[in-house]
Amino acid sequence: MPRFTVHVRDEWLTVPCKDATCSIKWLGFEALKRYIKNKPDNGGIQHIKDVHFGVKRCQGLGLLDNDDTIEDVLEDNDFVELAIEGDTMSQDFIPSQPGTSHLYLYIDNHRYISLDGNSLTSTDLVNLGKGLYKIKLTLEAEQKVVQSRELLDTIVKENKVVYGITTGFGKFARTVIPVSKLKELQENLLRSHSSGLGSPLSPERTRMLLALRINVLAKGLSGISLETLHRMIQAFNASCLSYVPEKGTVGASGDLAPLSHLALGLMGEGQMWSPKSGWADSKYVLEAHGLKPISLKPKEGLALINGTQMITSLGAEAVERAEAIAQQADIIAALTLEVLKGTTKAFDSDIHELRPHPGQKEVALRFRSLLDSDHHPSEIAESHRFCDRVQDAYTMRCCPQVHGIVNDTIEFVKKIINTEINSATDNPMVFAERGETISGGNFHGEYPAKALDYLAIGVHELASISERRIERLCNPSLSELPAFLVNEGGLNSGFMIAHCTAAALVSENKVLCHPSSIDSLSTSAATEDHVSMGGWAARKALRVVEHVEQVLAIELLAACQGIEFLRPLRTTTPLEKVYDLVRATVKPWIKDRFMAPDIEAVHRLLVDQKVWNIAGPYIEKYCMEYIPESRPSSPTAFILNVHNNTAQPPSVCLSLSLSFPLKGGSLD
């Protein structure tokens, strides 16, 4: 028999339906009957037949016609919202689409990544957030989890006094808890610590958070039971995601507030979201997916919340997006250099060998691969070949030096984030082989906090220098192009305010780049007397990266518009391909029009790495032809990344982070 979960004011009601040919109106009245039955005053409803209401699907908030039949518009276990005419939206009802993330579209996939707690990467984690994979445990991980749980069960059985297992927490570490109350102790921990505020994490970021916590627990050092861990995995694979507010962690003793909210939903309390239900009470979402809430055993509440997974999961997204935009920034800057009729002499390899920072050499190589006249003839470059200009402004000439340190910063931060992803950050640690638990401080978030502050400072410079290039493109005294890149200036304003937007974002970034990890406030009655503030470090690093993407989107639009005034001359082949990509999305600027959608569309191209996907193969080909040591010794001399189903050439080209799909690759 099909059944439906209906939200009426402050209550969620399960309504069975014997006849699916009944109307939506019938479903609404059945829900109202059940709602009134539970209220002493009938919920203020005097005559149910006089009530007028509308019915919406929770997912997508699509309004349903009351005359439609249930079988035509709903599926078994669907969630719907009943809005009574004259009511305001109930205060506890959360719209079905959490957050404002527009980056990724959830995909229900049947491919798996096996977690063992030791080999997950930031790239894997972002892909798990996108819904590209489900997860399972390796056999070795399951064995380690069982062994550590057996040790904890022995500790409880022998009435030993161990922090967090048979005692209270923080200031209450010396308070011994009776065995009969150990389950209540863990449940109370999650409830009291679920005290975060702010907007909920997006589904993608909540998936990343849950996947990372599962990965840490898979190490078998936290004392979680295999039953509880399997239920967490089932919830992840069904994309049943708890309501996790973004604010509330100080980053030591781990991300307690957000991880408590994450665990609370899995316990069947609080709110939860799934693609099928939208937002609803956790117990209903789990039930609709055939899942059971977790039932906490001794120490399991602590095992679920002690760690740096909030900082690290957001940091993983930040560093992956930073890496992607840093690659594409070189391409955009090369296009701007062409439009401004700059010289390529500053990218000569001999110059950069004299200051051999890896990032600087890498950026110079990319510029040569895109602009080398012997490799890619350019009519624009040829048109000013014999001009009297000796050198360009720093914003073009010094791209290898400025963009280069950003690349090196990203590489440094990525190493720290990937180490943190596979680190045990619980307390106490359960060492099954030694037969003991040991308290330590691996939960402290200083490592990822400092790294992400550094990332924000580093990647911001891409926007800072890009905004100056936008100024050069828009300023006719510097570009030899029409003012603000538009004809009939005065009647049309062109890119005037788009440049202002870029300047505003750069200015905002200057404030966001102030390091949060230099702050510390003592908490928990001075038990936790030094904290990392890593949660804010991660959140603001993401904001900085997004602003960088948006500024570079404006530069890319401006550079492509500049090309229009140089026609019929053409630039190099790879840069023409980039121009074509942009023009397939955004048409040339003939006269003023609504500009924000154009910026957003090109921002999306950068987030999806489409600019890199277009130009990257040309960079790889240049590597293969002009740098002998980058050539593979045989057709099979490629490094296969099994998680991402991509092949990568070794040596120099590997440092460029190129990835091109292989045919026929597979995962579990």
The model's pLDDT over 236-288, given as tens digits with 9 standing for 90+, comes to 999 999 999 999 999 988 899 999 999 999 999 999 999 888 888 999 899 98
337 shares its domain with 262: no
* Exposed/middle/buried for residue 645 (C-beta within 10 Å: 0-12, 13-18, 19+): middle
Residues of the chain with pLDDT > 90, as a percent, come to: 70
The count of domains in the chain is 3
CA-nearest of 410, 427, 420, 414 to 212 is 420
Judged on CB neighbours under 10 Å (0-12, 13-18, 19+), 31 is buried
One-letter amino acid identity for 313?
S
How far CA 166 is from CA of 172, 442, 443, 490, in Å, comes to 11, 21, 20, 75
| Residues 259 and 190: beta-carbon distance below 8 Å | no
Residue in the block written with tokens 């005559």: 47
pLDDT attached to residue 193: 95
**How confident is the model at residue 651, as a pLDDT?**
35
Between CA 32 and CA 49 the distance in angstroms is 10
pLDDT at 506: 98
What is the C-alpha separation between 394 and 402, in angstroms, rounded? Answer: 9
Residues 596 and 463 in one domain: yes
pLDDT, residue 403, reads 98
Looking at every residue in the chain, the average pLDDT score rounds to 88
Residue 314 lies in a domain: no
Q: Comparing C-alpha atoms, which of 291, 148, 285, 312 is closest to residue 215? A: 312
**In the structure encoding, which two tokens stand for residue 96, read together?**
């079905």
The answer to whether residues 353 and 294 belong to one domain is no
Residues 253 and 199 in one domain: yes
Whether residues 302 and 333 fall in one domain: no
Is 503 part of any domain?
Answer: no
From 625, 646, 661, the end of a domain falls on 625
Domain range enclosing 590: 321-422+452-496+543-625
Same domain, 17 and 157: no
Q: Are 293 and 286 in contact (CB under 8 A)?
A: yes
Q: How far apart are CA 495 and CA 33, in angstroms?
A: 59
pLDDT at 542: 98
Give 530's strand partners.
none
Tokens of 420: 């943190």
Question: pLDDT value at position 625?
Answer: 82
Q: Pick from 72, 75, 35: which is nearest to 53 by CA?
A: 35
**Known catalytic residue at 394:** no
DSSP secondary structure, 582-644, as one string: HHTTS---SS----HHHHHHHHHHHHTTHHHHHHHHHHHHHHHHH-GGGS-SSTT--EEETTT
The gap between the terminal CA atoms of the chain, to the nearest Å, is 35
Sheet holding 271-274, edge to edge: 241-242, 271-274, 278-281
Inside any domain, residue 224:
yes
Predicted confidence at residue 626, as pLDDT, reads: 72
- Cα(655)–Cα(652) distance, rounded to whole angstroms? 5
Per the structure block, which two tokens stand in for 65?
């016609």
What's the rounded Cα separation, in Å, for the pair 346 and 394?
10
Collapsed DSSP state (helix, strand, coil) of residue 428: coil
Burial (Cβ within 10 Å: 0-12, 13-18, ≥19) of residue 350: exposed
CATH of the domain at 376: 1.20.200.10
Domain boundary among 278, 306, 334: 306
* pLDDT value, residue 650: 35
Residue 176: how many CB atoms within 10 A of its CB? 10
Query: Are 297 and 349 part of one and the same domain?
Result: no
In order of 19, 429, 661, the CA distances from 27 in angstroms are 11, 52, 49
List, for residues 510-525, the tens digit of each pLDDT value: 999 999 999 989 888 8
- Is residue 208 domain-shared with residue 263, that is, in the same domain? yes
Identify whether residues 10 and 144 lie together within a single domain. Answer: no
CB 339 within 8 A of CB 373: no
Active-site pick, 112, 133, 163, 243: 163
Residues 265 and 371 in one domain: no
The residues of the chain scoring below 70 in pLDDT are 60-61, 87-109, 627-668
**In the 3-class helix/strand/coil scheme, how is 149-181 assigned residue by residue?**
HHHHHHHHHCCCCCCCCCECCHHHCCCECCHHH
Rounded to two decimals, the pTM is 0.84
Q: Which residues lie below 8 Å from residue 177, measured CB to CB, with a gap of 6+?
A: 166, 167, 168, 185
Q: Which of 3, 160, 8 is nearest to 74 (CA)?
A: 3
Nearest to 138 by CA among 30, 206, 214: 214
Closest C-alpha to 57, from 279, 271, 269, 243: 279
Task: Examine residue 315 and state whether it is found in any structural domain, yes or no.
Answer: no
The answer to whether the CB of 552 falls within 8 A of the CB of 462 is: yes
pLDDT score at 394: 97
Is residue 34 one of the residues assigned to a domain? yes
CATH number, residue 130: 1.10.275.10
In terms of Cα–Cα distance, which of 444, 508, 457 is closest to 311?
444
143 shares its domain with 287: yes
Is 636 contained in some domain?
A: no
Nearest to 413 by CA among 439, 450, 376: 450
d(CA 204, CA 206): 6
Query: Does residue 148 sit in the same domain as residue 37?
Result: no
Q: Tell me how far apart the alpha carbons of residues 28 and 449 are, in angstroms, rounded to a whole number.
A: 50
Asked, for residue 96, whether it belongs to a domain, the answer is: no
